[in-house]
Structure 1
Amino acid sequence: MFFEKQTDEKQEEYINLLKVVASLSKLFSESNIPYLYYRAAENIFCKALNAQNLSRGDISFDAFKGEFGIGLKTFIHGNGKKYEKVAEFNKDIDKFRDLDGKGAVYKIAELRNNRIAATQRAHGTTKMIYHMVTRKDSQFEIHEEEMNYIDSGTIKIDKKKTNDKNIFFRDKYHQYKFYIAKSTLYKQFICDKPIAVFDVDMLDDPFDFLLTDDSQKYYATHGHDEHLKQVCLPLYSARAGKVKKKSGLNFWNASTQKRERDNDEVYIPIPSWIHKQFEGFFPYNRYTEEKESFTLVFPNGEEIDAKICQSGGKGLMSNPNKILGEWILRTVLQIPVGQEVTYEDLDRVGIDSVIITKLEDYRFKINFATKGSYGDFEQEFKQ
């Protein structure tokens, strides 16, 4: 699928990095099964295989490269049949709280599919896979399988297994269970056809290794974005808690007789506290209102010109101003021309924020973040 299409050199680098990190397993456990922290697995995958790391956005893909959207998993192999978490719906609980088991499953399927579709549209991917590293006694296996939409037409509830804690169901592709208390969806992964198998030598005394020069060479496996500055911006008015009718994503709707606006003219709201708390993040001077243009990189690699707009720097806009709107309104949200955007439109696809990452002084990238991300960001950083 994906891994076998990478060069031999890249495959070897990936496996070697996994081996080195797993060799330190006895820092954490005396088990013969190697330890691999999931964040380390994500960072190693993206570093070795030149994929973009999406894990911090908490969307349907953990990484993507070219036409592939990729979900990354690592878990103990066991009997090769393992339920693993693929989605959480805590912030959507009001949508299925009062439904019976069958109704809840169909609603979860709808929400899950909407999220995947929006992520695909945002990144321009045509293929979706899961890439798994499973762990056995002193050994790793690599597996891959297709990531599928849940097929609502073939859903069947397993009444024998279902209880007051979990709803078990399947479609024509996979087995699932929905953990009711945590509003979490699990998918069963069948790992019986590895595409790579390799031994892991766990160091008896990993502390000695950490003091050597070799450890520095291999432990530069952190994600590139970990060292980059980021801010999270809401796609709605944070003060009003909704998408306003004539600003933000509906700025196109603010046409007047003197100023006709393009149907795709939008800006992304920037709450004023961000310019204070993260002063100098954007090329914008909040004292003089001086604004300089910069490059904004879309998830699919497309680059556009952008700038801070509005009095007080309250928005991020593309130049020409319709490019950002075409992408957000038409490609990702699929809003018909002339229809006002509401918070419900964002809620439908499970996103209400964007993450802006500063790559260089005049170069930034943008990606979507799940519903509630801006609220969490504000709570953590606003003073």
Structure 2
Amino acid sequence: MWSELDGGKKEKYKALITNFASLSEAFSQKVSSDNMIEIIESVAPIVNSKFQETAFQRAFGAVGEDIANTSYDASLEIDATHKYLVGIKSFGFHSGDQKIAQFKASSVTGGWSTILAEARSNAERLGDKNLADKENAPLYLKVATELANLRNERIASSKELVKGFDASDVSVKAIYHVLMPSKKGEDPQIHVGETDYRPIDIENIEILGSTALLKSTNFKFTDGQHIYKYADADSQLFMKFHNKEIVVDTWQVSYLDDAFSFFENLHEETIDVPKRKNVDRTISWMIANEEGNVEESSGFNGFDGATKLSKSNGYREKRIDSFRKKYENLLSETDMNFIISHLQEILLKKYPKKEDKREMKRVRSELRDKMISIDNNEMKDAIFSMVYRPVSEMYIPIPESRKFHDENPDFFGERIGTFNNGSKKLALNKEGRTFELEFLPSGNRIPSYINQDDGKGIQSINKQGILGEWILRGVFQLKEYEQLTGKRLNDLGINAIRLIKFKDKSGVIGLEFTWIDVENPPKDAVGWVSRNRKK
């Protein structure tokens, strides 16, 4: 990536970073020598990680990302068909392994600590690292494989967000961009490093053993591309960056003679800092409910609702009979009877209550498992088209939608959030409720509108299937007919949505998938999580 970036922009980035680092001596500490004379201890150039991220965005026009549990901090467009995911890091040039991911929630649901507790017990019993590593290798492999799958899904999801739903010709590469300052006492320099940020090659995972006999719950492994270390205490994944081998540029740092004078006189400087984003306001909300569950049968799980097959003129009975006649020679009598009886129970029986609908879904799950075991895609598609809604059907639900629209009737556009008196029906017709939904960071736009009772859904106008396929299969990495769950959200590090209303983009609303700390939600949060906001 570094070699592809504009030279002038790289110089601007260098100036921002080295100018900041030139103030490092202001943060040095006084120490006493043997003859009691106070001296200033030499310091390493300081690289502040948050400033680094902002400087990178400012210099290269990159888009900052705000998703937990992922290793990337920005996305960068080289041209219309060439984009980068960038993990931005800073660490000392002589430092060791670096944290690249965390799996707190997933490690609990996966029982990784229990697995590694067995490894610790084996190590204590054997008292020899080599013997313990050999016996524990299958345990380490199980954890390594599971965390590798999660990491790869996060990477794939991140790439989909940057690529967008309408970009078959867009190439998205991922890279770690690192700044590595020299250590104290050395010539002050900052080394620019770059290395691949790629999925873990699961097929080639090789366990390298525990980090130490007494730390047998921590282990190392490689996939032939990188060397990783997993630490059980905080469910953290580390990676060896091979610091000296990844250097692509080196910057000299010159310290200011009097850094304190700079700070003393800073207020006298006239600084004109242009606004980076022309944002009117934002709102964010959790995708799951307060219990951590994603709504069933609607919203992102719209496909899981009851079938929309017509009931008039015996249409459902005819569909069942048609299936029997078409496939009776391909199935055993036992299998055919199983399928027909389940179709009849699902399609012909009434399910008025919530408990009844749960029973219908149980029967449908039995039928689904049977069709998967038969392993005939044409037959499976014929059945699923009868008992499910379209596989990519979805809309984006707005929590406490009536309250939100009443308080913000013009958020999506003039009077879009208004209702007929005493009604749940929106006042404007469909054409009057439309706007452009812009997905960030890809920049893809799609005509959308507010729909349903109480205006609870954001729905695309003419690309519902394409949008659903991208969000469900791409962003959330779900298989067909797999429900979005709270666990999946935690695994991917995406649990929330943020909408952005721009000052300079009339009729355009931005949308990004993000992460909200439930214990400390942002000021723009709405819905149940907003009640956790500290006052």
Normalised TM-score (structure 1): 0.83
Equivalent residue in structure 2 for 1:314, among 437, 440, 456: 456
Equivalent residue in structure 1 for 2:264, among 188, 199, 208: 208
Distance (Å, rounded) in 1 between the aligned partners of 2:519 and 2:287: 12
Equivalent residue in structure 2 for 1:329, among 450, 469, 472: 472
Match of 2:76 in 1: 65
Match of 1:89 in 2: 103
Q: Structure 1 residues 375 and 211 mapped into 2: Cα distance closer, same or farther (>3 Å)?
A: closer
Distance (Å, rounded) in 2 between the aligned partners of 1:151 and 1:375: 35
Match of 1:249 in 2: 300
Partner SS, residue 195 of structure 1: strand
Give 1 or 2 for the bigger CA radius of gyration.
2
Are residues 1:173 and 2:225 paired? yes
Contact (CA 8 Å) 1:121, 1:331: kept in 2 or not? Answer: yes
Query: What is the aligned-residue RMSD (CA, Å)?
Result: 3.3
Flag the structure with higher strand content: 1
Q: CA deviation at 1:73?
A: 0.3
Are residues 1:98 and 2:97 paired? no
Match of 1:285 in 2: 417
Q: Structure 1 residues 221 and 181 mapped into 2: Cα distance closer, same or farther (>3 Å)?
A: farther
Contact (CA 8 Å) 2:210, 2:217: kept in 1 or not? Answer: no
Match of 2:133 in 1: none
Contact (CA 8 Å) 1:63, 1:70: kept in 2 or not? Answer: yes
Partner SS, residue 114 of structure 2: coil
Distance (Å, rounded) in 2 between the aligned partners of 1:366 and 1:104: 35
Amino acid at match of 2:446: I
Q: CA deviation at 1:27?
A: 5.1
Distance (Å, rounded) in 1 between the aligned partners of 2:395 and 2:517: 19
Are residues 1:159 and 2:300 paired? no
Equivalent residue in structure 1 for 2:181, among 117, 135, 150: 135
Match of 2:147 in 1: 108
Q: CA deviation at 1:132?
A: 0.3
Alpha-carbon deviations, 1:188-216, whole Å to 9, x = none? 211214221112233322313522436x2
Unaligned runs of 5+ in 2: 30-41, 78-82, 117-138, 164-170, 312-387, 421-425, 522-528
Q: CA deviation at 1:376?
A: 5.2
Q: CA deviation at 1:331?
A: 2.7
Distance (Å, rounded) in 2 between the aligned partners of 1:221 and 1:175: 42
Distance (Å, rounded) in 1 between the aligned partners of 2:391 and 2:189: 56
Normalised TM-score (structure 2): 0.62
Q: Structure 1 residues 334 and 91 mapped into 2: Cα distance closer, same or farther (>3 Å)?
A: closer
Equivalent residue in structure 2 for 1:53, among 39, 53, 64: 64
Q: Structure 1 residues 249 and 164 mapped into 2: Cα distance closer, same or farther (>3 Å)?
A: same
Q: Structure 1 residues 353 and 271 mapped into 2: Cα distance closer, same or farther (>3 Å)?
A: same
Which is worse superposed, 270-279 or 168-177? 270-279
Are residues 1:144 and 2:191 paired? no
Q: Structure 1 residues 6 and 221 mapped into 2: Cα distance closer, same or farther (>3 Å)?
A: farther
Alignment size in residue pairs: 374
Contact (CA 8 Å) 1:233, 1:356: kept in 2 or not? Answer: no
Distance (Å, rounded) in 1 between the aligned partners of 2:26 and 2:411: 38
Distance (Å, rounded) in 2 between the aligned partners of 1:314 and 1:376: 25
Q: CA deviation at 1:374?
A: 6.3
Amino acid at match of 2:151: R
Q: Structure 1 residues 334 and 106 mapped into 2: Cα distance closer, same or farther (>3 Å)?
A: closer
Q: Structure 1 residues 308 and 29 mapped into 2: Cα distance closer, same or farther (>3 Å)?
A: farther
Q: CA deviation at 1:5?
A: 0.6
Unaligned runs of 5+ in 1: none
Match of 2:393 in 1: 265
Q: Which runs of 4+ in 1 moved over 6 A?
A: 258-261
Q: CA deviation at 1:16?
A: 1.0
Q: CA deviation at 1:131?
A: 0.3
Q: Structure 1 residues 135 and 358 mapped into 2: Cα distance closer, same or farther (>3 Å)?
A: farther
Contact (CA 8 Å) 2:156, 2:474: kept in 1 or not? Answer: no
Contact (CA 8 Å) 2:21, 2:255: kept in 1 or not? Answer: yes
Matches within 5 A, 1:212-227: 212-213=268-269, 216=271, 220=273, 224=276
Q: Structure 1 residues 277 and 28 mapped into 2: Cα distance closer, same or farther (>3 Å)?
A: farther
Distance (Å, rounded) in 1 between the aligned partners of 2:99 and 2:411: 35
Distance (Å, rounded) in 1 between the aligned partners of 2:520 and 2:397: 16
Match of 2:162 in 1: 123
Q: Structure 1 residues 21 and 275 mapped into 2: Cα distance closer, same or farther (>3 Å)?
A: farther
Match of 2:443 in 1: 301
Amino acid at match of 2:435: F
Are residues 1:198 and 2:251 paired? yes
Contact (CA 8 Å) 1:111, 1:348: kept in 2 or not? Answer: yes
Flag the structure with higher helix content: 2
Q: Structure 1 residues 160 and 131 mapped into 2: Cα distance closer, same or farther (>3 Å)?
A: closer
